[in-house]
Chain A
Amino acid sequence: MSETPPNIILHAADVHKNFGGLRALSDIDLQIEEGKTHAIIGPNGAGKSTLLNVIIGRIPPTSGAVVFDGTVLTGKAPYEINQLGISRVFQTPEIFPDLPVLQNVMAPAFARRDGAFRINMFRSVESEGEIREEAEDMLNDIGLHGRREDHAGSLSRGDKRRLELAMCLIQRPRLLLLDEPTAGMSRHDTNSTIDLLRKIKSSGMTKVIIEHDMHVVFSLADRISVLAQGRIIASGLPQEIKEDPRVQEAYLGGSVE
């Protein structure tokens, strides 16, 4: 794995994943370039979420390995992978419903600053001015500042998704994984999320995005990989993908939603 070129930040090499007899992923070779937004698209059941779960360490691959910036991720615990600089937005928002919105954003900032475990009993959350300010700025950016004292569980579904995105962004990850970040959002919310993601695009953060919404994909992606029946059938620039006959066939042949 040492010959990974410097500009490839994530390399899923020869990844296979079987669930019993079902081949969920086979022969996956995916290279993500640093600073780029890489979209993974494909029909339902193509294995997109499985691929993301393998990358993040939620499920171990049957064979193959995922390498992030020279470190093998396979076999690492989720918190170790996060501490390496990888954050993830889930398909159903994973937030802290019982905590105030502000603390939802502050907690990840503490994990970034203090590491995976630290008994910090002598200072109060209130007195952590720097992290608090940063969290408030972040909430301003996503338009949730007015609800910072409310419990996150009381937010609308779209707001929960944006909150989760903010929780990932405040960690300033090197790699951000997004699993359908705009699913269930109104057109208006979708567009503002696209704007937000565009803004961080210029900050040089690498993003891998799984998305059904072609409007979102073509607004954001620098590169696109198409997954069908557990295999990558095409990979390239958005324009190339659009014109690829295999892609059109996969989408027409597969179950288009």
Chain B
Amino acid sequence: MFSLSRKDLVALVVFAAVVLTMPIWLAPLGASYPGLMQKFAIYAIFAIGFNILFGLTGYLSFGHAAFIGVGSYTTVWSFKLLTMDIVPAMIFAVITTGVFALVIGYFSLRRTGIYFSILTLAFAQMCYSLAYSVLTPITNGETGLLLARDDPRYLDAMFGAQANIAGLPQPTFLGSSVTGYTGFYLCAAILIVAFYVSQKIFASPFGMALRGIKSNQTRMNYTGFNTKPYMLAAFVISGMFAGLAGALLSITDPLAGAERMKWTESGNVVLMTILGGVGTLFGPVIGAWLIKYFENIFSAINTNMLNNFFSFLPDGLQNVVVTVLSKFVGEGWHLTLGLMFVLIVVFLPGGLVEGFHRLMARLKRRKGTPDGVTSVQPAE
């Protein structure tokens, strides 16, 4: 029941190793601090979930940020009302987003193609606007939902935990705080579980049915599959992944604001998935890491850093190089990302994973070793 094929097992082990050694291999890239690595893990979970819908069924949702928001708000409310322990918070977040996804999916899936995308976008924008207006008592509007010292926390109060602590209470996992590296390893562990779940779905008859829907929905119907509930299930599962990601965002930084539901966030996850490779296991993760890296590190590069880096060049040339490159870093990181996106979509429609496969195929051909696996290939 929990077993994986050999290929998937290798992929899982490799994946787990890569994720857990992040602090080591991200160090030379300047990104090995827990706050950022947490984001890498969280957005990878979001993208993995999104890919279950978009990658397998081909239904492009433009409203998945709404589920991140719902997960965040639910988590903070669980902290405020029940307990600072993160386990109930995550469970509630996943259940609540599941219900939201069920309702939004039920209506949106009545249409296909661009109309489906627009419907999900409309629902997400509705959630976003409501959070700023009518639902202010729940979302605390523009300020965002914050913890307060005098929150009731009924469960904690019942067990007498955290009675007199100075300052704001911190989220805990079975009594221990989840800040810094603990927080990163928590997110990393959940990411590995999320990856495993997506492997199981990809390999299952359920996943095959979802691929069938993407490939030829007419044949699915005439083959005896009722495609509606299959798509709704995929939608709800992927919504729950997003809810879990939202919960983790609020766990590592206990506040929730409506800006997490902005449409640009929904767009980001689409970019992540396409950059990495739609419908592949590793693609969404790679895409998420790449975009988060650009957003946080590339955007921080300034002219001084470039000058230092190119100081070995002759003066005149250094000026030219720095002037040109400075348009692409710092504030201009969107430009670099945009160009990269265009290049990948045009030349590698299967994303970076396809690029990797092509590279491997070329190497294999050059080596001329038809037998024996030359490297670990990502599943799919």
Question: Would you call A82 and B222 a contact (CB within 8 A)?
Answer: yes
Contacts of A94 in B (CB 8 A): 216, 218-219, 222
Which of the residues B1, B205, B215, B226 comes within 8 Å of A79, measured between beta carbons? B226
B233 in contact (CB, < 8 A): yes
Question: Would you call B208 and A125 a contact (CB within 8 A)?
Answer: yes
Within 8 A of B (CB), among A102-132: 103, 106-108, 110-112, 114-128
Contacts of B207 in A (CB 8 A): 121, 125
Contacts of A112 in B (CB 8 A): 224
Cα-based distance from A226 to B101 in the complex (angstroms): 52
A169 in contact (CB, < 8 A): no
Give 1 or 0 for each of A131-144: 1 = CB within 8 Å of chain B CB.
Answer: 00000000000000
The residue in chain A whose Cβ has the minimal distance to the Cβ of B216 is A96
Cα-based distance from A90 to B229 in the complex (angstroms): 25
Contacts of A79 in B (CB 8 A): 220-227
B17 in contact (CB, < 8 A): no
A167 in contact (CB, < 8 A): yes
Contacts of B363 in A (CB 8 A): none
Cα-based distance from A114 to B208 in the complex (angstroms): 13
Question: Would you call B200 and A82 a contact (CB within 8 A)?
Answer: no
Which of the residues A96, A97, A126, A171 comes within 8 Å of B5, measured between beta carbons? A126
Question: Would you call B203 and A126 a contact (CB within 8 A)?
Answer: yes
B201 in contact (CB, < 8 A): yes
Within 8 A of A (CB), among B214-265: 214-216, 218-227, 229-230, 233
Q: Known contacts A98-B211, A117-B229; is A125 also within 8 Å of B222 by CB? A: no
A83 in contact (CB, < 8 A): yes
The residue in chain A whose Cβ has the minimal distance to the Cβ of B5 is A126
Cα-based distance from A121 to B229 in the complex (angstroms): 14
Q: Known contacts A83-B224, A116-B225, A117-B230; is A103 also within 8 Å of B208 by CB? A: yes
The number of chain A residues touching the other chain, given as a range, is: 35 or more
Q: Known contacts A119-B233, A123-B205, A124-B203; is A77 also within 8 Å of B219 by CB? A: no
A104 to chain B, nearest CB (A): 9
Question: Would you call B219 and A95 a contact (CB within 8 A)?
Answer: yes
B204 in contact (CB, < 8 A): yes
The number of chain B residues touching the other chain, given as a range, is: 20 to 34
Cα-based distance from A100 to B274 in the complex (angstroms): 22
B212 in contact (CB, < 8 A): yes
Question: Would you call A171 and B215 a contact (CB within 8 A)?
Answer: no
B311 to chain A, nearest CB (A): 51
Contacts of B1 in A (CB 8 A): 122-123
Cα-based distance from A127 to B209 in the complex (angstroms): 16
A56 in contact (CB, < 8 A): yes
Question: Would you call A122 and B225 a contact (CB within 8 A)?
Answer: no
From A77, A122, A171, name the one whose CB has the most chain B CB atoms within 10 angstroms. Answer: A122
Which of the residues A95, A111, A124, A126 comes within 8 Å of B225, measured between beta carbons? A111
Contacts of B206 in A (CB 8 A): 118-121
7 contacts between A and B (CB under 8 A): A79-B221, A98-B215, A99-B215, A107-B220, A115-B224, A119-B233, A167-B223
The residue in chain A whose Cβ has the minimal distance to the Cβ of B1 is A122
A88 in contact (CB, < 8 A): yes
A188 to chain B, nearest CB (A): 26
Question: Would you call A107 and B212 a contact (CB within 8 A)?
Answer: yes
B277 to chain A, nearest CB (A): 14
The residue in chain A whose Cβ has the minimal distance to the Cβ of B2 is A122
Q: Known contacts A94-B218, A94-B219, A98-B211; is A124 also within 8 Å of B204 by CB? A: yes
Question: Would you call A106 and B208 a contact (CB within 8 A)?
Answer: yes
Per CB-CB distance, the 3 closest pairs between chain A and chain B, nearest first, are A82-B224, A111-B224, A116-B226
Within 8 A of A (CB), among B322-372: none
The residue in chain B whose Cβ has the minimal distance to the Cβ of A120 is B205
Question: Would you call B221 and A110 a contact (CB within 8 A)?
Answer: no
Contacts of B203 in A (CB 8 A): 124-126
Cα-based distance from A239 to B1 in the complex (angstroms): 58
A78 in contact (CB, < 8 A): yes
Q: Known contacts A95-B216, A96-B216, A167-B223; is A125 also within 8 Å of B211 by CB? A: no
Contacts of A116 in B (CB 8 A): 224-226
Cα-based distance from A106 to B205 in the complex (angstroms): 9
Cα-based distance from A171 to B225 in the complex (angstroms): 12
Contacts of A88 in B (CB 8 A): 222
